[in-house]
Every structure is written in structure tokens, then in C-alpha cells.
Structure 1
Amino acid sequence: MTTLSTAPEPSVRKRAARHPYLTALTTTRGRIGLLLVGLVVLGGLLAPLLTSYDPTDQSGDTLLAPGSAGHLLGTDDLGRDLLSRVLYGIRADLEVIATGVPLGALLGCAFALLAAVHPVLDTVAQRLFDLVLAFPGLILALAITAVLGPGRLPVIVVIALAEIPVFGRQLRGAILVQREREYAVAARVGGTGRARLLLRHILPNCADPLVVQLALSLTIAVFLEGAMSFLGVGVRPPEPTLGSLLSQALPYLAQAPFFAAGPMLSVTLLVLGFSLLSEALNREVRR
């Protein structure tokens, strides 16, 4: 007698066991986002191999020259190679956002965990979040720059401060939901301590929305760094950033539009790539 097997097919089991983050990266949005971000990141990391020009070297012979065999993207108003400045500008932007966003995420999560321990700490954390959120990003940037002066450190500090309440409120809300679930109630009844319950049981179940927020925050950080550099309160020249390159290109848009093409394309690819990744992750973790 032949019996029918009720076990799922191997392909079904494989899909079911696949982590939602990996599944998100295999979707159309995830693949395109990963490709766009990967292209820009590789360009910044491989800058010394992709160009032989120093981004600060000036030449009086080729001012605002269009693209050529020697300068693929042309030169700026001081004769500096635009391809070199764009690639090193990408590197500078990546260093800033890759430091500021994780730092803000860690601090925000730390405040949220403290808030979950005691109602008084919760009130203090909420008021701190409100204080930071009371200042728009650029106003906060100008205030920090007025104290620390322009440079790379103020940009990192501004990005981190802007992200603290975002991640703090995200994790706090997730903790409030998770600690009322059956598994958390059962753990408390079984005698699990508050700290162990929070760190070993509740926190791992709050990771998914934080990962989605991380991808979205990288997009916001690109805008924030670009805005600060565009206004002249970011990374100091002559070190290039994408925002400072756009600021320098603004007076020459009519006569040399190629000046702004490289940094504008890089910013667009980064923002679009991070946005697609955040959408793909959000769709998968909500299933």
C-alpha cells in the first residue's frame, strides 16, 4: 500500500527556513537597492585604484574642462579632477554616516533599555527624546557647529544625536508590545528576572523594526551630511564630500553642468538604494 507523504517539499522547507533579511535581499527591490548601494560603496572604497589623481591637486591649465580621456568627469573651477573628488567624496560620506548612524542607534537603544527598567528612567528618557526632536536637523547642525566648529566630528555628532530619539522610541514601543506577549508573561511567572527577561527574551524579538529603521536612517544621514556640507558647516575643504561638491558646482550650473553631475548621481544612487533596501526589509519583517 502506498502512503502519501505530508512532509513539505525541500524547496518549500528551504524557503520557510530562510531568514527574512536574506529573503528581502532576493526580492526585486532588495536586489536593485543592494546593487545601487554596492556600486557607490565600491567606488568609494576603491577610489585609490580607480583614479590616479589626488583630489586636492590643482591645475591652472584645465579649469572647468568637460570630460576627456585624461579627466573622465572633467575638472572643477580650480582644475581638480572631478572623478577623483567624487570618489573620495563618497568615501568621506560613507565614513561619516557609517559612524554616526550606528552610534546614534546604540545610544538610542541604550536609553530605551534604561527606560524599560523603571518608570522614572522612562520619563527622563522621553523628555530627552522630546528635547532633541524639538530641533530640526539643520538647526541642530548649526547649534553643534557653533560649539565644535566645522569638521568631520560635528557631522558625526549631529547624525548620532538626530538618530538617538528615532531608535529610542522605536525600541521602547517594541518593548512595550513584546513584554505583554504570552512568552514574556510566562517567563515572569517562571521567575525570570527583569534584566534577563529584557535582554534574553524581549530584545531579540524587537530586532526586526530596528534593522528596517537602520536602512532608513542611512538615507536620512546622507541628506543631513549633504546639507551640512552644502551650507559650509560640514567637513572642511579641501577634503571633498558630496555635499560640498554640489555647493561648489552651484554657481557654474549654467556654463558647466557636468560639474554637478557626479555628486548628484552618487547622492541619488545612495538615497534610492537605501530606500529600496528599507522597503524590502519592511515588507519581509511584516509578513
Structure 2
Amino acid sequence: MAREPRRFNLTASRYLQAFRQPKGIFAATVIVVLTTAAFLAPAVFPGGYDQQGRDALLPMSPEHLFGTDELGRDILVRSLFGLRTDLTLVYIAAPITMAVGTLLGLIGFVSKTTGTLIQRILDVIVGFPGLVLGICVVLVLGTGFPALLISIVVIGLPTFGRLARAALLSQQQREYVTAARTLGISRSTIVVRHLLPNAVDAIIVQGAVFIVHAVFLEASLSIVGLGIQPPQPSLGALLNTGMRYITQSPTYILGPIIILLLLAFAFSLLTDALNETVNRK
């Protein structure tokens, strides 16, 4: 029993090395600042994201850093509430996708037939471009947060399922796995204690990449009107509305774009830092 906590501590310590690099420190700082600002927005701005003002489509100013929208609402406030929606979505969707996708990839060790069938289903999902598949899911389930969540999970399953499947195929013929099976250790125990640890590095690194992909997927679906619906804001919904007024107020979409790109850049740097850490010899 003492080995499991020790193994966990060593693994966690190895991942924490990523946050001792300059890029890891910068990425973590940006992510923490954006996440804190997003989830504290209701407390900092008690008026909410739908508080209207007299002046519409104002340019950037000290009073309104990103200007105001067509109803006089502060775009910075709406961008932070929109970021809150996006982060809530991806922070729920990413762990679910990683866990379910990994389980689907490793189930082939327990049942070869089931594993092969699941891989064929994942191959079909891969055959659809992410945006097209997301549109199909949203058209079936309707617009809104739940449909976006399911879309992101479905689109991400093949990535993690294939990573776990690759780890399974590379490790299942190893001597230690054969020895464990000879000793009568159950297949589920072998998967959890031996096969899963060999897949976890790639899965965690890919998880950071997937968060970026999920944020852009939400933005893409909302831009075409199939994501978060007004008056609830999201970064994609703000871009969708802002493009209608871009000739009247060119800075309308500047705020959501800055936040979106900053978030993507931070998670991309985090991915690089994690990748360098797990591949360090």
C-alpha cells in the first residue's frame, strides 16, 4: 500500500517540474489570473453582464477599457463573464473526455472484440471535421451549454482513445504484463497499475492541447449562432455580435479576441512545458 502514494508523489513531482521553467511559470500565471478574473466577475461586477448604459458603441477609454456594445454594456465585463462561461465549459469537458477516452482505449485489454469495435467507432468520429461534427450534435440536441459540452466530449474522445490504445498495444506484450497475467492478477488490475501509468504522460500533455481546441470549438460554434445563446455571453457569442458592428465600432471584437488568444497562448506554453518535462531523460 505504501508504494502507491510514493508512486503518486513521484509522478506529481515530475509534472510540477514544468512550472519551474520560465514558460511554465508564465503560462500558469496567465491561466490563474484569467481563471480568477472570470470566476470572481459576479463579485467584482455585481451589476452583472447585462447592465445597460446610455452610450452605445463607445470606443476604448479609461472608463470602458474595451468600449461598450450596441446596448451600452461594458464589453470588458461581458468578456469576463463570457470567459467564465468558456472556462466552465472546458474545465468540465476536458476531464470527462480524458477519462472516458482513456477508458475506451484501454478496454481492449479486457475484451479484444469490444476494443476493436470501439476503435472503429472512434475512426468514424475522426472522419468528421470537428466543427462539422459539432454542428451535427448541436442540430440534434439544440443550442446551449449542454449541447456544447456533449459536442466537445464527443469530438475529443478519439484523441485520448487512440493514445490509450497505442499505450496498450505497446505494453501488453511486455514481460511484466505476461508475468502479471501468469500470476493470476486480474485484467482490470493490470490495466490500472501497469498499462495506465504508461499512457498518463501523453494523456496529460494532450489534455492541455485539448483545452485550447475546446475553447476555439466553442468560439466557432457560437460565431455561427449554434453555441451559447444571448443574453448569456461567451467569447464566441461576443465575436458573433461584434462582427455585425465592426464598421461602426472596430474595437468591439478586440476585447474577446485578446482574451481568447491570451488563453490559447498560455495553454500552448503549458503544453510545451509539460511535454519537455515528461520527455526529459
TM-score normalized with structure 2 length: 0.90
Say which is worse superposed, 252-261 or 100-109, in terms of deviation: 252-261
8 Å CA contact 1:229–1:243 kept in 2: the answer is: yes
8 Å CA contact 1:53–1:81 kept in 2: the answer is: no
Aligned to 1:40: 34
For the pair 1:159 / 2:130, whether they are aligned, the reply is no
Task: Please list, as runs of the form range in 1=range in 2, the aligned pairs for 1:117-136 lying within 5 A after superposition.
Answer: 117-136=110-129
Q: State the distance in 1 between where 2:142 and 2:253 align.
A: 27
Say which is worse superposed, 128-137 or 47-56, in terms of deviation: 47-56
8 Å CA contact 2:222–2:237 kept in 1: the answer is: yes
Q: State the distance in 1 between where 2:104 and 2:12 align.
A: 32
Number of residues of Structure 1 aligned to a counterpart in Structure 2: 271
Seen in structure 2, the aligned counterparts of structure 1 residues 127 and 92 have a Cα distance that, compared at 3 Å, is same
Q: State the distance in 1 between where 2:112 and 2:12 align.
A: 39
Aligned residue for 1:258, secondary structure, equals coil
For the pair 1:210 / 2:200, whether they are aligned, the reply is no
Task: Please list, as runs of the form range in 1=range in 2, the aligned pairs for 1:5-44 lying within 5 A after superposition.
Answer: 19-44=13-38
Correspondent of 1:246 among 239, 242, 245: 239
Q: State the distance in 2 between where 1:17 and 1:168 align.
A: 22
Cα displacement (A) at 1:217: 0.4
CA-based RMSD of the aligned residues comes to 1.8
Report runs of 4+ in structure 1 exceeding 4 Å deviation. Answer: none
Q: State the distance in 2 between where 1:213 and 1:134 align.
A: 20
8 Å CA contact 2:82–2:233 kept in 1: the answer is: yes
Aligned to 1:4: none
Cα displacement (A) at 1:52: 4.3
Say which is worse superposed, 103-112 or 206-215, in terms of deviation: 103-112
Q: Which amino acid aligns with 2:13?
A: H
Seen in structure 2, the aligned counterparts of structure 1 residues 52 and 67 have a Cα distance that, compared at 3 Å, is farther
Between Structure 1 and Structure 2, whose CA radius of gyration is higher?
1
Aligned to 1:9: none
Cα displacement (A) at 1:165: 0.9
Task: Please list, as runs of the form range in 1=range in 2, the aligned pairs for 1:20-169 lying within 5 A after superposition.
Answer: 20-59=14-53, 61-169=54-162
Seen in structure 2, the aligned counterparts of structure 1 residues 17 and 119 have a Cα distance that, compared at 3 Å, is closer
Aligned to 1:8: none
Percent identical among aligned pairs is 37
Q: State the distance in 1 between where 2:124 and 2:69 align.
A: 42
Structure 1: 5+ residue stretches without partners:
1-15
